[in-house]
Structure 1
């Protein structure tokens, strides 16, 4: 089994295309991530003075300063430090405004709980209320570094993972057919099961290495540029997650999101292997795998009013594309009705990713066991 695994890993990692694609994508992303390190460090020295509890004294001081700064901004004579103070003032207003929205929403949910007789709606309202009540927006942190690291998952990271899986794994069984090696595979003394298992394990290792690669690069660039601070900021401090009901910090959100991305990526890996087991041409396997990921991707990009197309929106939310992207699971409060009980959208996608991996793993083995050796 160990020798089989080594051989399968060799066949995957010997493909020059995966290194070229990974290198090009990393180069493009590195250029996009580049920031002036000295400038960012200077900015942090200003922000650091305002980190911590948002107090009445801080607000009063900023209110007074902002009046003068706005006058200078009209003439374009404000200093860089004054621009930073203006940004800090807006961040304070952003967080306090969000806290006010939470209070209002909690009041609305309390009314629903007291009047709604439907068990599911009442339970969902109770769940959302409890989550919102635990969110703390009273502290401010400079979160540029963590925000960039998290943002990478659902802007470029999930695309890198998907592309590399398709390029690296789509031919894993299809090429065996075109080269005639499928006959050896089907009559292997190790047995079909062990041979297929070694391919699955090798593919999983490859997927893990891809994710580890872009995560390591992104983290290194962000930490070098911004430093390793800001992880105590609430998830809602990122504008993409302004309406998220989850009472977690960025430091807690990141490992959760990257783990969810990893599980979904493993699910997609097993889908691609299954497609490769069905298709007898590597190119066809690559196209079909790309279609499975690319169609939901294209729909999400093309249809701007997707929320108005209810059935399509629901279908897209459960696609492997959305599971790998992760972002939508942490945008707002979303649950699924499971026997009258609300199950959070992130929990549903985690279960879906695991079930997908299990089903397609068994399906691939079943397909290969039914194939016959050609005499």
Structure 2
């Protein structure tokens, strides 16, 4: 009986014409996003000719992977010396031929050194010309020294300082390099994609309970033998199952198409290569998974909140706006009200904006315990997701009782 009821609720969701149109749109958008990600890859050959499209990602990875392996100080010195020589030779700017022959292959390493030397300032390549050969050989010593300074700067309490120091100690020196461009690209596209999925799934879940109110059959539904118990539970389960399946099929398809073409080089490349002072010590592959999981948690929270508001209001009109308002509008409001950063840093929009959140050393402290922002919010909204489920059940199961 329970399986039949769940199957029936799922059939109701996927048989609605508007829902079918939305799911078809998701499929189209997924393919388009994959194509845009693939098309955004660019490779310059030794003749200075620029290539984009299907082969560009793998050609770029092949070119940069000649530096694959431990990023030793000898490699770093070789890169910086080579770039300095080219800068002297071409004071008016590097020609495309030189970019394709040399600079393109080691630009990630060159960029990494500048980031190390500018922890609290804007990216400025002039710092490279202030480095002596001895300083280049001690670049990791400088890096570790700057990490200690960052721990002191952002460690506003002894507990936060100790926490940051323990985090930075996990950065393995020297870093290991491999071309990471496909992951760099996909983190940007996935960030936008999960936001879109959250809004669409919110619309789909809003109709699960409103369907009864819309057709005026809520009294019949609730008067049935299992109307106020198993039937409501199956509606909730159907909503969670539908949201989970749609989300992971969508991001799975996006990832499969994109990485199948661009390649997966760089999965184990440390994220610190692109953001040396990030307090999230992970690889680029883990970074991508963090974006997907964070987006899933935010999506599920918005989905159950949408169902709850639908049950309370007896209409989906307001409920469908919740994901859009929380995840799309709140970031703009936050920029306009910087004085309330502490409040906005606790909203689920952070989980659909991990691309920026990992670059900010936001910490929360409860007593002696210190938490990083993303980790804290992932746990918080997972708990809130679970807490809201009984409220949905109770609100719908008690519908009509008071007025009788």
Q: TM-score, normalised by structure 2?
A: 0.79
Verify: 1:294 aligned to 2:325, yes or no: yes
1:52 aligns with 2:95: no
* 1:337 equivalent in structure 2: 365
Q: Aligned pair in 2 of structure 1 residues 269, 64: CA closer, same or farther (>3 Å)?
A: same
8 Å CA contact 2:331, 2:349 repeated in 1: no
Aligned equivalents of 1:133 and 1:97: distance in 2?
21
User: Do the aligned partners of residues 111 and 194 (structure 1) sit closer, same or farther apart at CA in structure 2, a change above 3 Å counting?
Assistant: closer
How many Å separate the matches in 2 of 1:190 and 1:174? 18
Pairing 1:250–2:261 present: no
1:323, 1:353 within 8 Å by CA — same for their partners in 2?
Answer: no
Structure that is richer in helix per residue: 1
Q: Secondary structure at the match of 1:6?
A: helix
Alignment coverage as a number of residue pairs: 360
Distance 2:189 2:93 in 1: 37
Is the CA contact 2:61–2:181 (under 8 Å) kept in the aligned structure 1? no
- Describe the shift of the 1:367–1:212 C-alpha distance in structure 2 as closer, same or farther (beyond 3 A): same
**What's the Cα RMSD here?**
2.9
Rounded Cα–Cα distance in structure 2 between residues aligned with 1:78 and 1:110: 41
Partners in 2 of 1:290 and 1:27 — Cα distance?
A: 26
Q: 1:26-57, CA deviations, whole angstroms, 9 ceiling, x for partnerless residues?
A: 24423422332223322222211111122344
Q: In 1, are the aligned partners of 2:183 and 2:266 still within 8 Å (CA)? A: yes
Structure 2 residue 320 is matched with structure 1 residue 316: no
Query: Are 1:82 and 2:89 matched, yes or no?
Result: no
* Deviation (angstroms), 1:274: 0.6
Which residue pairs with 1:260 in the alignment? 294
SS of residue paired to 1:222: helix
Query: Any conservation in 1 of the 2:171–2:281 contact (CA below 8 Å)?
Result: yes
Normalising by structure 1, we get a TM-score of 0.84
Secondary structure of residue in 2 paired with 1:151: helix
Which structure carries more relative contact order (alpha carbon 8 Å, separation 6+)? 1
- Structure 2 unaligned regions, length at least 5: 40-52, 120-142
Does structure 1 retain, via aligned residues, the 8 Å contact 2:214–2:315?
A: yes
Distance 1:259 1:19 in 2: 21
Work out the CA distance in 1 between the residues paired with 2:161 and 2:93.
49
Shift of 1:210: 2.0
Residue matched to 1:167: 203
2:9 is aligned to 8
Contact 2:346 2:377 in 1 (8 A): yes
